[in-house]
């Protein structure tokens, strides 16, 4: 009953000072909205990266020389085509792996040219990775064996060079050398502002000839099943180390890649949320301030309530509820605003955003906590007021 | 009405109260003994600074004596915690102030019901009891009015109803007519007299107005923190 009265009084007080309450809430609204939006963007980015890594295929092992750490320049690879054959035996067949040699190159058809990511690969690429074609067919074993100058284009490369024409059978230049288009990949779309369709696949052997090298940059192996993937990775690394003594190799799984990426994105999300959290803190200080004003304004009322039998605790609870009401109303508004803004960002920009129930629950909990934390000092001050002095106050 | 043994509403024995002002103890009451029996109608009279307000705050349990013993409804206030003292004020004492001290934006009936909130009475029962008391002070037609819609005399009657709603044994009125014109003031005094006679609530008026004090059954004169003795 006392509690109900405290709620009624708190609501009445907020209503009586609409503008003041609104402006105080605004601090909390902005803070909570910022937390919700930034966490949504961080979560969205993480989900998108995850779905991309999963979308590559299943049970994949990526084999590269050196260590897989972010920030290190890739080591120049000592691997050659003979290593590919050796690893194919370890992995259980040529179908189970593909190799790549990559380079940024300019491609040209007629007067249009574009800078693309050129990959020299084996014909087994579509059995390892999930890559579907819309036109033509993929590279063949004989293309690779004879270093035939044929190319499969990413969707946006085909669009830029050939427009709406079917490019299969047409000619184009890769780094000044004439190639024939045999296929076009299905569209993958953009992610995090990066065009994933800006690729050109040519036979590994043709790429080696084009670049004047016999190296292979990386291998990708598809393990027969997920449970043996780490074991297989160990065998592959051991075989490569045996063949190239003194050189380090790594085999990483999709889970490991996701772990590293997830950590980076997690830290990024955390930092963004913390910055937004600071604005929530500032909002809390505003609440504290306005509650002190409210206590001072209502000194006589507090005195009267005490005279007619309110215990100090009743007064503390009354003002705490008022503070919590301020921040939770602000919090709910902020959550609404944050969700709206996140949906808008996701719809209108390439930045992904995903609302998670835990971030919304957390934002609400934090705003209520802010009310308690920043309301407690003013409320205790009210509870301690001497009724005699309070009643005398003008 | 507050216990099995009929007790005096208030009993003060050699009560002093001094305030600390810049490290100096300034005495406001210098040894006051006073008994207010149930059903009494007394006036505390004295010039400003004589200690009559301090005495009233002590009698109402809003403050505690520096030395001496003060019994409210038979209980020693020195032995009560803050919440216990609050509960005692709530049940046994009603205050009427010169400036009314009604809550703004709150109807007469809700103002009167306020002490019942802290007595733990349910909302419906609060309204019913508040309305009944408002009827007794002649404001049955003003239940839904807010303080700014009432005249000064009506506001003070709402305040009196609020003081009575918990059924206290003592009603303390601090200059209850101080903000009212003569006619309205007389009406309010008459109401206090009636309530004293009809329900037996002890009334203590604090005033510096001799005419007002003359309406009480006895006068307690104060000067320099001491009782001068009855006139």
How does pLDDT run across B51-93, given as a tens digit for each residue? 998 999 999 999 999 999 999 989 999 999 999 999 999 999 9
Q: Which of A300, A311, A391 sits opposite B83 (nearest CB)?
A: A311
How does pLDDT run across A320-337, given as a tens digit for each residue? 999 999 999 999 999 999
- CATH placement of domain B38-61+84-227: 3.40.50.300
CA distance to partner chain A, nearest, from residue B92 (Å): 10
A161 within 8 A of A112, measured Cβ to Cβ: yes
Separation between Cα atoms, residue B17 and residue B29, nearest integer Å: 5
Q: Which of B63, B103, B120 sits opposite A301 (nearest CB)?
A: B103
Which of A372, A323, A380 is closest to A9 using CA atoms? A323
Q: What is the mean pLDDT of residues A207-224?
A: 92
Q: Chain B residue closest to A387 (CA)?
A: B62
Helices (H), A56-137: 81-91, 125-128
Q: Does residue A68 register a pLDDT over 80?
A: no
CA A138 to chain centre: 32
Write down the pLDDT at residue A349.
Answer: 82
Q: Chain A residue closest to B64 (CA)?
A: A388
Q: Does residue A170 register a pLDDT over 90?
A: yes
Write down the pLDDT at residue A16.
Answer: 86
Structure tokens at A138: 């993929």
- What letter would DSSP give residue A117? E
Q: Is A314 on the interface with B (CB under 8 A)?
A: yes
CA distance to partner chain A, nearest, from residue B114 (Å): 8
Write down the pLDDT at residue A224.
Answer: 85
User: Up-side HSE of residue A238: CA atoms within 13 Å toward CB?
Assistant: 8
Q: What is the mean pLDDT of residues B124-153?
A: 95
CA distance to partner chain B, nearest, from residue A22 (Å): 20
Q: What is the mean pLDDT of residues B186-207?
A: 93
Tell me if A2 and B91 make a contact (CB, 8 A cut-off): no
Tell me if B95 and A308 make a contact (CB, 8 A cut-off): yes
Q: Chain B residue closest to A299 (CA)?
A: B101
Q: Does residue A363 register a pLDDT over 50?
A: yes
Q: Which residues of A touch B162 (CB under 8 A)?
A: 308
- Give the SS3 label for residue B81: coil
Q: Does residue A203 register a pLDDT over 90?
A: yes
Write down the pLDDT at residue A359.
Answer: 84
- Give the SS3 label for residue A140: coil
CA-based diameter of chain A, in Å?
102
Which of A26, A43, A4 is closest to A266 using CA atoms? A43
Write down the pLDDT at residue A145.
Answer: 94
**How, if at all, do strands B170-174 and B67-72 pair?**
unpaired
Q: What is the mean pLDDT of residues A252-275?
A: 87
Write down the pLDDT at residue A215.
Answer: 92
User: What percentage of chain B exceeds 70 in pLDDT?
Assistant: 96
How does pLDDT run across A333-359, given as a tens digit for each residue? 999 999 999 999 989 887 788 888 888
Q: Chain A residue closest to B115 (CA)?
A: A308
Q: Is B86 on the interface with A (CB under 8 A)?
A: yes
Which region among A64-73, A126-135, A266-275, B199-208 has the lowest average model confidence (pLDDT)? A64-73
Interface of B with A in 109-148 (CB under 8 A): 114-115, 117-123
Q: What is the mean pLDDT of residues A273-286?
A: 88
Write down the pLDDT at residue B111.
Answer: 95
Write down the pLDDT at residue B4.
Answer: 46
**How, if at all, do strands B218-223 and B226-227 pair?**
antiparallel
Write down the pLDDT at residue A73.
Answer: 53
Which region among A7-16, A19-28, A195-204, A209-218 has the lowest average model confidence (pLDDT)? A7-16
- What letter would DSSP give residue A176? T
Q: What is the mean pLDDT of residues B223-231?
A: 79
Q: How far is CA A322 from CA A32, A175, A279, A316, in A?
A: 19, 71, 21, 10
pTM value is 0.77
Tokens 């598809």 belong to residue: A222
Write down the pLDDT at residue B112.
Answer: 96
Write down the pLDDT at residue B1.
Answer: 46
A143 within 8 A of A132, measured Cβ to Cβ: no
CA distance to partner chain B, nearest, from residue A258 (Å): 59
Write down the pLDDT at residue B231.
Answer: 45
Q: Does residue B230 register a pLDDT over 70?
A: no
A54 within 8 A of A257, measured Cβ to Cβ: no
Structure tokens at B227: 């009782």
Write down the pLDDT at residue B93.
Answer: 95
Separation between Cα atoms, residue A297 and residue A16, nearest integer Å: 12
The residues that bridge with B196 in the sheet, in sequence order, are none
Q: Chain B residue closest to A301 (CA)?
A: B103
Average pLDDT for chain A: 89
Q: Is A1 on the interface with B (CB under 8 A)?
A: yes
Q: Does residue B124 register a pLDDT over 70?
A: yes
Reported confidence tier of residue A188, pLDDT bands at 50, 70, 90 = confident
Q: What is the mean pLDDT of residues B100-126?
A: 93
Count of A-B CB contacts under 8 Å: 64
Q: Where are the domains of chain B?
A: 38-61+84-227
Separation between Cα atoms, residue B137 and residue B162, nearest integer Å: 10
Write down the pLDDT at residue B2.
Answer: 47
- Give the SS3 label for residue A96: helix
Q: How far is CA B95 from CA B28, B39, B58, in A?
A: 21, 16, 12
Reported confidence tier of residue B8, pLDDT bands at 50, 70, 90 = confident
Write down the pLDDT at residue A178.
Answer: 95
Q: Does residue A230 register a pLDDT over 50?
A: yes
Q: What is the mean pLDDT of residues A210-214?
A: 92
Tell me if A307 and B105 make a contact (CB, 8 A cut-off): no
Q: Does residue B3 register a pLDDT over 60?
A: no
Separation between Cα atoms, residue A15 and residue A9, nearest integer Å: 10
Q: Which of A1, A309, A391 sits opposite B122 (nearest CB)?
A: A1
Q: Is A307 on the interface with B (CB under 8 A)?
A: yes
Tell me if B166 and A309 make a contact (CB, 8 A cut-off): yes
CA distance to partner chain A, nearest, from residue B179 (Å): 15
User: What percentage of chain A exceeds 70 in pLDDT?
Assistant: 97
Tell me if B90 and A308 make a contact (CB, 8 A cut-off): yes
Which of B87, B66, B9 is closest to A306 using CA atoms? B87
* Burial group, residue B141, by CB count within 10 angstroms (0-12, 13-18, 19+): exposed
The CA R_g of chain B, rounded to the nearest whole Å, is 17
């Amino acid at each position: 009953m006392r509690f109900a009265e405290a709620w009624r009084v708190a609501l009445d007080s907020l209503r009586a000072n609409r503008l003041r309450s609104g402006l105080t809430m605004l601090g909390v609204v902005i803070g909570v909205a910022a937390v919700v939006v930034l966490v949504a963007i961080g979560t969205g980015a993480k989900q998108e990266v995850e779905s991309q890594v999963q979308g590559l295929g299943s049970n994949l092992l990526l084999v590269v020389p050196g260590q897989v750490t972010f920030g290190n320049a890739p080591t120049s690879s000592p691997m050659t085509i003979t290593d590919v054959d050796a690893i194919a035996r370890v992995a259980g067949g040529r179908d189970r792996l593909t190799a790549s040699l990559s380079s940024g190159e300019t491609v040209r058809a007629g007067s249009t040219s574009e800078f693309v990511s050129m990959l020299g690969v084996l014909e087994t690429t579509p059995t390892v990775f999930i890559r579907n074609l819309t036109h033509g067919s993929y590279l063949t074993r004989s293309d690779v064996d004879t270093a035939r100058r044929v190319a499969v284009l990413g969707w946006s490369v085909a669009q830029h060079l050939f427009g709406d024409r079917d490019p299969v059978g047409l000619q184009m230049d890769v780094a000044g050398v004439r190639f024939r288009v045999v296929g076009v990949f299905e569209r993958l779309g953009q992610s995090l502002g990066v065009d994933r369709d800006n690729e050109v696949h040519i036979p590994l052997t043709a790429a080696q000839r084009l670049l004047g090298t016999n190296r292979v940059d990386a291998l990708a192996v598809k393990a027969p099943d997920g449970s043996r993937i780490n074991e297989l990775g160990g065998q592959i690394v051991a075989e490569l180390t045996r063949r190239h003594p003194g050189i380090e190799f790594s085999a990483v799984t999709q889970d490991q890649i996701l772990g590293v990426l997830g950590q980076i994105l997690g830290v990024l999300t955390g930092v963004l949320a913390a910055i937004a959290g600071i604005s929530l803190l500032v909002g809390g200080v505003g609440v504290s301030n306005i509650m002190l004003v409210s206590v001072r304004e209502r000194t006589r009322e507090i005195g009267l309530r005490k005279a007619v039998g309110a215990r100090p605790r009743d007064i503390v609870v009354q003002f705490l509820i008022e503070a919590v009401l301020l921040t939770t109303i602000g919090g709910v508004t902020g959550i609404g605003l944050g969700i709206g803004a996140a949906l808008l960002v996701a719809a209108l920009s390439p930045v992904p955003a995903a609302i998670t129930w835990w971030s919304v629950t957390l934002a609400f909990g934090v705003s209520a906590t802010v009310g308690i934390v920043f309301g407690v000092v003013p409320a205790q001050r009210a509870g301690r007021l001497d009724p005699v002095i309070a009643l005398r106050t003008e | 009405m507050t216990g099995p043994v009929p007790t005096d509403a208030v009993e003060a024995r050699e009560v002093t109260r001094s305030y600390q002002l810049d490290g100096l103890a300034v005495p406001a009451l210098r040894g006051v003994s006073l008994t207010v029996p149930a059903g009494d109608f007394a006036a505390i009279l004295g010039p400003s600074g004589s200690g009559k307000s301090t005495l009233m705050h002590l009698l109402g349990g809003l403050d505690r004596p520096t030395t001496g013993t003060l019994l409210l409804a038979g209980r020693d206030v020195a032995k009560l915690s803050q919440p216990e003292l609050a509960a005692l004020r709530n049940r046994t004492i009603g205050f009427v102030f010169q400036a009314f001290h009604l809550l703004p934006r709150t109807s007469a009936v809700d103002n009167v019901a306020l002490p019942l909130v802290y007595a733990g009475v349910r909302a419906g029962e609060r309204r019913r009891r508040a309305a009944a008391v408002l009827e007794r002070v002649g404001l049955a037609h003003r239940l839904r009015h807010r303080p700014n819609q009432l005249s000064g005399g009506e506001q003070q009657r709402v305040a009196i109803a609020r003081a009575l709603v918990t059924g206290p044994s003592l009603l303390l009125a601090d200059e209850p007519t101080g903000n009212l014109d003569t006619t309205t003031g007389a009406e309010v005094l008459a109401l206090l007299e009636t309530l004293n006679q009809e329900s037996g609530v002890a009334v203590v008026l604090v005033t510096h107005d001799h005419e007002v004090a003359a309406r009480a059954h006895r006068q307690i004169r104060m000067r320099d923190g001491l009782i001068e003795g009855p006139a």
